[in-house]
Structure 1
Amino acid sequence: MAPPVLLSRGFDPLLGVFTGVFAYYLYETNPRTAFPPDQQLTALVRWKWLKWKTARDERLDALEKHEQALFQSSRDTDTTK
């Protein structure tokens, strides 16, 4: 027995995702249920992205300093030979 489909096997998941995103958009922009601007999804995603980017930059800076120290120490040992 084939599973029930609304329109097609490929289009049904897209329709479900679109419906969910559109429903959340309407929920967030409805004047009755609207969140303050600092608690809307876009602001929260922007905050999380900035937090992730800062942590990533710190890790990359630490890695670069470590690599530079290794390069410097290997260069120092090569010149003493």
Structure 2
Amino acid sequence: MPTPVLLSRGLDPVLGIFTGFFAYYLHETHPRTAPPPDKQLAALVQWKWAKWKREREEKLNALEREAEASSKVVG
């Protein structure tokens, strides 16, 4: 039995992704279902990005301090 196809094998996934994004957009913007501004996707992504940058900067600073300390010991 062949698999059911709505439009075509290539267009069905695109339609599914578009439908998902559109449903999420409507969920975020509808007055009844809209989350508070600090809980919306854009704010959460900005928070996560800032957290990742801060942790990365701390890690790089620690590596630089370690490299400087080891170069002073060797030199």
Q: Tell me the TM-score normalized by structure 2.
A: 0.85
Instruction: Tell me how far apart the structure 2 counterparts of residues 72 and 10 of structure 1 sit (CA, whole Å).
Output: 60
C-alpha RMSD over aligned residues: 1.4
Unaligned 5+ segments in structure 1 are: 76-81
Unaligned 5+ segments in structure 2 are: none
| Alpha-carbon distance, 1:4 to partner | 1.8
Give the aligned partner of residue 49 of structure 2.
49
Aligned residues: 75
| Alpha-carbon distance, 1:30 to partner | 0.4
Give the aligned partner of residue 63 of structure 2.
63
| Alpha-carbon distance, 1:71 to partner | 2.0
Q: Tell me the TM-score normalized by structure 1.
A: 0.80
Q: Percent identity over the alignment?
A: 63
